[in-house]
Amino acid sequence: MRHNLIPQLFTSLLCLGALLLGLPTSAQQDGSSAVPTLIPPTLVPANALPADNPLPTESALARIRAEGKVHIGLLYNLPPFGELNPRGEVTGFDADLARSMAEAWGVEFVPVQVTRQTALDAVRSGAVDMLIAAQAQQRELALQVEFTQTYFPSSQSMLVRQDDGATRPADLANRRVGVVLGYPAERALADWQVRAGVSVAVQTYYTLDRAFVALVANEVDAIVGDRVQLGRLNQLPGVAKLLDEPVQAEPYSAVVRRQDVHFRNLINRTLQYLVQSGRMQEITQTWFPGSRYPAALVTLWANLGTDAPKPDQFGTDIPYPAGYVIPRIQSSGVVRVAGVIDLPAEAPESERRLDAANRRIVEALVSRWGIQVQYIPNSRDNAADLVTSGQADLAVGVRLDWVLSDRVDFSSAYLIHGERLMVRATSDVETFNALLGRVAGVFSSEPGSVERVVEIAESAGGAIRTFSILRDQDAALEMLVNNNVDVLFGDSLKLIPLLEQNADLLRITTRGDAPSPWYSQVSRAFAVPRNDLDFRLLVDYTLEEMARDGSLRELLNGVMLPNESPFIITTPGVQAFLGISLTGAPVLAG
């Protein structure tokens, strides 16, 4: 039965594959209107960029502000991210994002066609101000260009036949897996085999559609490719299925010149603004109907504001650091860390847990680099200042905040806490919608908590009473014994100890179908010296490896729920950076 589908599939797939690659189909060859393609698609990745990387003297914002235009490099032959329509207009997810950024900035959008071979050189030479071109972050490219926050969570994924019992890539051990020769999937599959300790029989093909035909014909048991392109290829129901677990994450980011910190900050702030305003959801619905933009993908920093950021709010210079951290820590063998505090014995449990977790994560991070930690005592309240002044190399536990962005840079968030709702274990309550007329317990140590409860209750369409809890440790007593409150509302750092002490009696809600279980979030990260890009990347890549191997999740015990952790996407690449191990394993020469 499956083999009877092959001739029909083959014809359909060749046509679909041609559309995916921007090539003329038979319908276009017979005289119908063809989709113009200015530059043929590039199928084979270019060689590595040259090692020289001259430092720019001014931000790309200088030209943008002077001309009132932003030149953005886009792919014109990769739907649904970028393609040229019959009217000569570039359309797609990336094109809509580029236009939205230009509109937010109040400047003219100038699209520039790039290919996989020309894109990065176009940024480095200044031919374009930035790229929004389905460009995956890669560690090997981080010494050539700079990546912004991720805007799309792509991946190299695995497609198997519908009736295959495999549920994750590891289930394909010792089986046949197809990839397209010279495509990122080939390298992703090779890297995955090493990391996962799994061996497969790799079969290469020249095109993705031919690999798919081989899958349907039972010549291979799976194929690996870009998740979006595999989804577009797999249009016939009941033929194949995508495995949820990726072979390798491929986070798409905008690209700018290295150390153009002002422009990078403008792009990141604009991306956060577009997420907050709902524009990213609108773009997602246009190009991926029925999909929801991932709520956790773009971390929103404090003091983002509600207005679109503008180019004239950012400088046009490039403020290089007076000194760089990596050479200093390599020569001294010590990282100076701010952000810890000597807490008194009577300090709340939540504060003691947070400080302990911060120290654990610092020590795990730095131990992988093979050097020592030197804590700056009682430096929690002025941690960012110490980094800015050069007295500290790193500050732990700093809140991601736009107010600090002209003084320090930030790593990815490694810890999230914030307002959550706690109820009795037997309660069916998930949100404030079911709490009208009831009593919410709030912590008196959290200023503004009463106002927050009133605000959230009113937005849910009713009123709720509040009860102030004077001591954090009495909260469970007021709910379970004294019956003074129906629910508890407060920072998750305060709720988690109560949950651990009353595991069978209490639970923290997930808010049902809401995009996020949080009513508000505080994202904690490392602050590093401003525009010391290599050190920031070293911190980020090490956190990624800690997230990948599960050690970060273990270190967060007691400050985050066991089934929750920060959303950290792993950037493809080797497990060392500038000769420093990201895993603690020896760095092999060559």
Instruction: Give the model's pLDDT for residue 14.
Output: 36
Instruction: Give the model's pLDDT for residue 53.
Output: 53
Q: Which helix (H) or strand (E) holds 256?
A: strand 248-256
Q: Is the distance from CB of 111 to CB of 95 less than 8 angstroms? A: yes
**CATH class label, 61-145+257-313:** alpha beta
- Given a cut of 80, is residue 322 above it in pLDDT? yes
Instruction: Give the model's pLDDT for residue 181.
Output: 95
Q: Closest Cα to residue 298, out of 560, 541, 515?
A: 515
pLDDT tens digit sequence for 119-153: 999 999 999 999 999 999 999 999 999 999 999 99
Mean predicted confidence (pLDDT) in 89-99? 97
Mean predicted confidence (pLDDT) in 434-459? 91
- Given a cut of 70, is residue 174 above it in pLDDT? yes
Q: Residue 157: what are its φ and ψ, rounded to 5°?
A: -125, 175
Q: Is the distance from CB of 194 to CB of 247 less than 8 angstroms? A: no
Share of the chain above pLDDT 90, in %: 84
The pair of structure tokens assigned to 371 is 């050097």
Mean predicted confidence (pLDDT) in 2-13? 38
The domain made up of 325-413+528-563 has a fold known as: D-Maltodextrin-Binding Protein; domain 2 (3.40.190)
- Given a cut of 60, is residue 21 above it in pLDDT? no
Q: Is the distance from CB of 335 to CB of 329 less than 8 angstroms? A: yes
The domain made up of 419-508 has a fold known as: D-Maltodextrin-Binding Protein; domain 2 (3.40.190)
Instruction: Give the model's pLDDT for residue 7.
Output: 36
- Given a cut of 70, is residue 23 above it in pLDDT? no
- Given a cut of 80, is residue 559 above it in pLDDT? yes
Instruction: Give the model's pLDDT for residue 54.
Output: 64
Instruction: Give the model's pLDDT for residue 491.
Output: 97
Domain residue extents for the chain: 61-145+257-313, 154-249, 325-413+528-563, 419-508
Q: Closest Cα to residue 499, out of 564, 553, 549, 584?
A: 564
Instruction: Give the model's pLDDT for residue 236.
Output: 86
- Given a cut of 60, is residue 544 above it in pLDDT? yes
Maximum CA pair distance of the chain?
A: 82
pLDDT tens digit sequence for 220-235: 999 999 999 999 999 8
pLDDT tens digit sequence for 216-269: 999 999 999 999 999 999 988 899 999 999 999 999 999 999 999 999 999 999
pLDDT tens digit sequence for 46-84: 333 344 556 788 999 999 999 999 999 999 999 999 999
319 pLDDT band, cuts 50/70/90, is very high
8 pLDDT band, cuts 50/70/90, is very low
20 pLDDT band, cuts 50/70/90, is very low
Mean predicted confidence (pLDDT) in 565-574? 92
Mean predicted confidence (pLDDT) in 177-202? 95
9 pLDDT band, cuts 50/70/90, is very low
**CATH class label, 154-249:** alpha beta
Question: Are domains 325-413+528-563 and 419-508 of this chain identical in fold?
Answer: yes
- Given a cut of 60, is residue 298 above it in pLDDT? yes
- Given a cut of 70, is residue 17 above it in pLDDT? no
3-state DSSP assignment of residue 398:
strand
**Burial readout 63-79 (b: 16 or more C-beta within 10 A, e: otherwise):** bbbeeeebbbbbbbbbb
463 pLDDT band, cuts 50/70/90, is confident
Q: Which DSSP string corresponds to 288-352?
A: STT----TTTSPPPBT--SSPP-GGGS-SB----SS-HHHHHHHH-EEEEE------TTS-HHHH
Instruction: Report the chain's mean pLDDT, rounded to a whole number.
Output: 90
- Given a cut of 70, is residue 171 above it in pLDDT? yes
The pair of structure tokens assigned to 22 is 């921007």
